[in-house]
Structure 1
Amino acid sequence: MYRFLLTPRWWGINVFVLLAIPFCVFMGSWQLGRFEDRVDSHRGASEQAAQSRREAPRPLAELLPVNKATAGRQTTATGTYGAQLLVPGRELDGKRGFYVLTLLRTGDGKALPVVRGWLPGAADRAKAPAPPAGQVTVTGALQASENPGENGVSAAGGLPAGQTAAISAASLVNLVPYDVHDAWVTLNEGDSGMRAVPAAATPDTGLDLKAFQNLGYTGEWFVFAGFVVFMWFRLLRREIESARDAELGLPPDDGEHAASGTPSGASTTTGV
């Protein structure tokens, strides 16, 4: 009855199943590993942020370029404030407002974007306090450049003059007349009565939508593996039933008799 398993058709089916199941299990395990890596990165970033707040600030030059190891670290820089921009559409504690971003011109020939604080409401240059004059020393958390569309950063264009959607050298290069560091700093204490902006999570270290997509893909791959097994057993059962019917001399159940309402094996000839 099971000799059909040696036919070329079933050889092909069996080879496909033997390859498909390990592949689905491997892909599911890989996606699960990606999710676990993001969980570990999130835990490590949280521990690093807590530790960095207890550390003494280090000079900016020692922490550049920004990476996962240096993002969120306390840094200090000295210079004079220059151009000031607003970053609209930023939320803090569930309220919508805007950042006040001022460029600190340091002695290395580049300006450092400094978020001096957050204000509620629509972005308005009249509301933003003017930066202190003369030489200043700032202390805050070092942040990686933002990418529009990630971490809640708006990619909207057509902003009024004096505003930017993202804090990055690429976004600021056409808005200020000098070179800009590919990093920024948020002050530990808000300047001129503004609220301090907490340090943002380092990209690819938080439990964001991408992390839970990895978890969803894990479930999908294991479901695919189970579906392959289910279909193999279903095909096997149908083949066994067909072989049994053939041994009993019954015609194959192709649905023709059921459609005509005539019982299988019954004669359609009527007496005269």
Structure 2
Amino acid sequence: MLRALFSPRMVALHLLVIGVLIAFTLLGRWQLAVFEDSGRPASTADPAPVPVGTLSKLGERLSAEAVGRQVTAEGRYTATDQLLVANRRPDVEAPGGRADSGQGYWLLTPLQLADGSTLAVVRGWVADAADQAVAVPEGTVRVTGRLRPPDQSDAVQHDGALPAGQVAMVSTAHLLNLWEGRLHDGYLIATSQDPPLTARAVAVPPPTQGGTLTWRNLAYAAQWWIFALFAVFMWWHFVRDEVRRSKSKAPELSVPDPEPLPR
């Protein structure tokens, strides 16, 4: 039996199957990696800043394609309507957590544009409400920043526990009740300003695009591994036939007849 399994023809078959298994396994892992990478968010190109009216239209919701995009806006701040967004960090993260975790306030100031509309602008972050950076600059300002969608308006109920002039969320629906005039949806997080920002700029990431899973690559991976299993089945089939063939060709041992006993 062993002689049949290790004949030159069978050794070549063993080596061929080993090579096929290695190749098909690696090809399946490659297709699986392509499938996994397709579902990961990918950073998109970061276009140059455009006027805010190009991406944020009055009376329309901020589109998903506009979120994170750089825009410019020019106008005058309304200092009397400025609000402090409480329990915030100096980067774009969800509110909440321990009070000693670096939280403070966002400076949320309405910017009156040339067309009479209002744009909510986060001018920066301060750790203390009494910080001098809370003061609003006078005159015309030119702001460059990134657009953000409004926070969920169902959280504004927490405002009742905050001091006057503070809010818990940046909600367009809530701001419509606090500020006069036509209001753009969402808000702008300022990254630079002329005159320069006095508060610490809030860190905001560039736009990202969610990955789309390519299920076809997952099917390809399964296909390669099925081929590998089929190769194993065929190898076992050939080995079984070879063993049976070697047994059928083996010479039968003849047993001599016993000699008759002498009388």
TM-score (norm 1): 0.49
Larger relative CO (CA 8 A, sep 6+): 1 or 2? Answer: 2
Q: Which has the larger radius of gyration?
A: 2
